Amino acid sequence: MFKKFFKGSKKKNMVEKKEEVNKKEESEKFQSNIENKKVENAIKEEKVDILKDESLKEKIEEVKKEEVKKEELEEKKTEKKGFFTSLKEKLTKSREGLFGKLKNFFSGRSVIDDEMYEDLEELLIQSDIGFDMTLKIVENLEKEVKTRGIKEAEKVYDVLKDVLERFLIRENNKIELKEDRLNIILVVGVNGVGKTTTIGKMISKFKSEGKKVIIGAADTFRAAAIEQLEEWAIRSEVDIVKHSQGADPGAVVFDTLKAAKSRNMDVAIIDTAGRLHNKKNLMDELSKINKIIKKEIGENEPYETLLVIDGTTGQNGLTQARVFNEVTKLTGFVITKLDGTAKGGIIFAISEELKKPVKFIGVGEGIEDLREFDADEFINAIFE
Ligand SMILES: Nc1nc2c(ncn2[C@@H]2O[C@H](COP(=O)(O)OP(=O)(O)OP(=O)(O)O)[C@@H](O)[C@H]2O)c(=O)[nH]1
Ligand SMILES: [Mg+2]
C-alpha cells in the first residue's frame, strides 16, 4: 500500500515534470519559429541589420541552406516534368498526324461494321504502316473489340492503343553497360539516317553517367564524316581514333578496340559509313568489321550492333532492317527523326517483324534529343 502510494506520488511528480518540460520545449519552439520567420523575412527583404546580427548567424545559414534545398527540389521536379512533356511535344507531328487521324476516324463513326474495318485498313496503309502489319493490326483489333463487347465506335480508339502496344518489344530495350568489361557498340545504317548524330548524343549520355568513352571513326569514306564525328568527340570530351580519308575501316575498328583496352575504357562506339543495303561490297565490308570485333573480343562475346533507321522513310526502313539483319546480327534499332514525321508507324512494323527491341529514338537534332525507348511512354506520347 505504501509502495503504491509512494509509487503514485512519484508518478505524479514525473507527470508534472514532463508537463513542465513540454511547456518549456513548446515555448522554445515558438521562440525559435519567430526567430526563423524573422530570419526568413530578413533574407527575403535583405534587411542588413538582422543579417549582420552575429547571434543569428547560425540560423541565417540554416535558413539559407533550406531555401537552396527547396529551390533544387523544385528545379528537379520541373526538369522531370519538362523532360516528359517534351517527349510529347517532340512527337506532336505523329500525334496530330497518323494518330490524330485515327482518333477522328473513330469519333466520326456511329457503328462498328465491316466497312469501318476496311476504311481503317486503307488509312493505315496510306500511313506507311505496311500491308502485312495493317492486316495484323486490324485482325487483332476486331478480335479484341468482340472480346470486350465494345459497341461504340468511339471506344475502339482505346482498344487500338492496347493492340498496338502489344506489338512493341519490351525486353532488352535498355543498353545495359557491363561494369567489368569493355562494351562495344557498332552503329550501322544507310546514308543520312542519323548514325553520326546518334553517336554524338550517345557519348554525351554515357559521359554524363561517368563512363569512359572512346569512339572510332570507321566511316573513312568522306573526310567530312571524320570531322563531323570529331566535333562530337570534342564537345563531350571523349577520345577518338581516326585514320585519314580512304583508309581501311577495318583497321580503324582494330585500332579503336586496341586503344579502348589499353586505356581501360568502359564503352567503345564505332561509326560506320552509310551504305545502301543493296550494295554488296559495302555489306561485305560490314561482315569484315564484325569479324575483326569478334577476333578481338572472342567469338561468342556479346556486343551491340544497332541499326539506325530514319523514322520518316516509311516502308523502306523495314526493307533496310530485313537486309541488315541478314548481314550482321543486329541487337536493336535506333529510330531517328521521329520529331519530323506525321506517320510514326514504323516502330510497330519493325518491332513486330524483326522481334528486336528499339533501344533509342531520336527526336531532334540537339545533343539531348536521344531518348531511351520506353514503350509505355511512347504510346502515351502519341495517343491523346
Ligand atoms: N530532326 C531530326 N534530325 C536528325 C535526327 N537525327 C539526325 N538528324 C539529322 O539528320 C542529318 C543526317 O545525320 P547524320 O548523323 O550525319 O547521318 P549519318 O547516318 O551519319 O549520315 P552518313 O554518315 O552520311 O551516312 C543531320 O542533319 C542530322 O542533324 C533526329 O532525331 N531528328
Ligand atoms: Mg555519318
Domains, the chain, with CATH or none: 2-89 (no CATH), 93-167 (1.20.120.140), 183-382 (3.40.50.300)
Which ligand neighbours the alpha carbon of 275 most closely?
Answer: 1
Q: How many angstroms does the Cα of residue 242 sit away from the middle of ligand 2?
A: 14
With vertex at residue 162, the alpha carbon angle to CA 156 and CA 164, rounded to the nearest 5 degrees, is 100
Q: How do the pLDDT tens digits run along the chain, 384 residues long?
A: 444 444 445 555 656 666 776 777 777 777 777 777 777 777 677 676 777 777 777 777 888 888 888 887 777 666 555 554 478 899 999 888 888 888 899 998 989 999 999 999 999 988 778 889 999 999 999 999 999 999 999 999 999 999 999 999 999 999 999 998 999 999 999 999 999 999 999 999 999 999 999 999 999 988 999 999 999 999 999 999 999 999 999 999 999 999 999 999 999 999 999 987 667 777 788 999 999 999 999 999 999 999 999 999 888 899 999 989 988 889 999 999 999 988 878 899 999 999 999 999 999 999 999 999 999 999 988 987
**Ligand 1 atom at minimum distance from 271 CA:** 20
With vertex at residue 228, the alpha carbon angle to CA 309 and CA 172, rounded to the nearest 5 degrees, is 35
pLDDT the model gives residue 307: 97
pLDDT the model gives residue 56: 76
377 Cβ contact partners less than 8 Å away, ≥ 6 residues apart: 84, 87
Closest among 380, 343, 349 to 158, alpha carbons compared: 380
Q: Which residues line ligand 1 (CB under 6 A)?
A: 189, 191-197, 219, 225, 274, 336-337, 339-340, 362-365, 369
pLDDT the model gives residue 247: 95
**Ligand 1 atom at minimum distance from 363 CA:** 31
211 Cβ contact partners less than 8 Å away, ≥ 6 residues apart: 177, 266, 267
> What is the separation, in whole angstroms, between the first and last Cα of the chain?
78
Q: Does the annotation flag 336 for ligand binding?
A: yes
Grid cell listed for 147: 472480346
pLDDT the model gives residue 77: 62
Per DSSP (E only), the strands in 273-351 are 304-310, 332-336
Q: Does the annotation flag 341 for ligand binding?
A: no
Q: How many angstroms does the Cα of residue 183 sit away from the middle of ligand 1?
A: 24
With vertex at residue 198, the alpha carbon angle to CA 197 and CA 201, rounded to the nearest 5 degrees, is 90
Distance CA 177, CA 248 (A): 28
Enter the pTM of the model. 0.79
pLDDT the model gives residue 1: 41
150, with CB counted inside 10 A (0-12, 13-18, 19+), is: middle
Q: How many angstroms does the Cα of residue 231 sit away from the middle of ligand 2?
A: 12
